[in-house]
Structure 1
Amino acid sequence: MKNQRHLSPRIDAGLLFLRLSGSLLLLYVHGLPKLLHFNAELTHIEDPFGLGPWMSLLPALLAEVVCPLFIIVGVGTRLACLPIIGVLLVAMLAVHPDWSIAEGQFGWLLLIIFTTLALTGPGRWRPGHTQTKGYRYGAG
């Protein structure tokens, strides 16, 4: 138990960094451009399942705008990671299956970040988290 208390601030700092850096990158590189240029995105978004541009763009906006905001704050982090993971898997496996690892490295790295957060949770450094006596990995 002594080792966990010594390591827990470092783990919490790492999870905070992972939450902020991954979410801000996703939001800035993919989410905000889709939101700010919504009509233009409708004309050229990929539609891998034939659902139409609206039904392809809305899940992307949820995953790339709304979910990163929840993750940044540390609220519902594990749940918020699931749409991101789903959209990234569709993008990497259905929309761009011909990409090499080098071409798709940003998507794969985002997939690693958000899968890690889905497994670990947000850590203790988030608003509204009360300090507890012990440390439970992945709590939250």
Structure 2
Amino acid sequence: MNESKAQDLGLLFLRISGALFLLGVHGLPKVLNYSEQLKLIEDPFHLGAHVTLLLAIFAEVLCPLLIVAGLLVRLACLPILAVLLIAMVVVHPEWSVFEGQFGWLLLIIFTSILIAGPRRLRLA
């Protein structure tokens, strides 16, 4: 396998695994337990629980699906990174690196995808 094909496969793996992980751990639980999540979600910008939750669902459901498909990948990373940065810096600034390690790792993954783009293995 040549180096370019290996890089494409590596990035495809990063895109799919990172996006499905975010979707499964954060996105789908918000959709499937919407009413319960309304009571739990932080609203740091006072937009209201419904708006804040819908924005989180957009970033954690629709955007990962676009990334898996390789569609608008760089653009789809931006809402994800915004939600992660808000969670880490605004909502949970007291978290140590240990407590916030999952969020920081997701920031690393989606920043890497933002920088690299989808490369050649994508739907469009």
**Percentage identity across paired residues of the two chains:** 59
Secondary structure in 1 aligned to 2:79?
helix
1:100 to 92, 96, 101: 96
Alignment partner, residue 88 of structure 1? 84
* Offset at residue 6 of structure 1 (A): 3.3
1:49 is displaced (CA, Å) by: 1.3
Q: Pairwise CA RMSD of aligned residues?
A: 1.2
* Alpha-carbon distance, 1:127 to partner: 2.1
Query: In the alignment, which of 22, 42, 59 is matched to residue 18 of structure 2?
Result: 22
The answer as to 2:116 corresponding to 1:113 is no
Larger Rg: 1
Partner amino acid, structure 2, of 1:43:
K
What stretches of structure 2 of length at least 5 have no aligned partner? none
Structure number having the greater helix percentage: 2
Structure 2 partner of 1:132: none
Q: How many residues align?
A: 124
Letter paired with 1:68: P
Paired residue type of 2:108: I
1:136 equivalent in structure 2? none
How much has 1:52 moved relative to structure 2?
1.1
Residue of 42, 50, 53 corresponding to 1:54: 50
C-alpha separation between the residues in 2 aligned to 1:87 and 1:44? 16
1:122 is aligned to 118
TM-score (norm 2): 0.96
C-alpha distance in 2 between matches for 1:59 and 1:116 = 22
Runs of 4+ in structure 1 displaced over 6 angstroms? none
Which of the residues 63, 69, 72 maps onto 2:65?
69
- Describe the superposition over 1:21-58 as per-residue Cα deviations: whole angstroms up to 9, x where unpaired: 10000000000000000111111110111111012111
TM-score calculated relative to the size of structure 1: 0.85
Residue identity in the other structure for 1:95: V
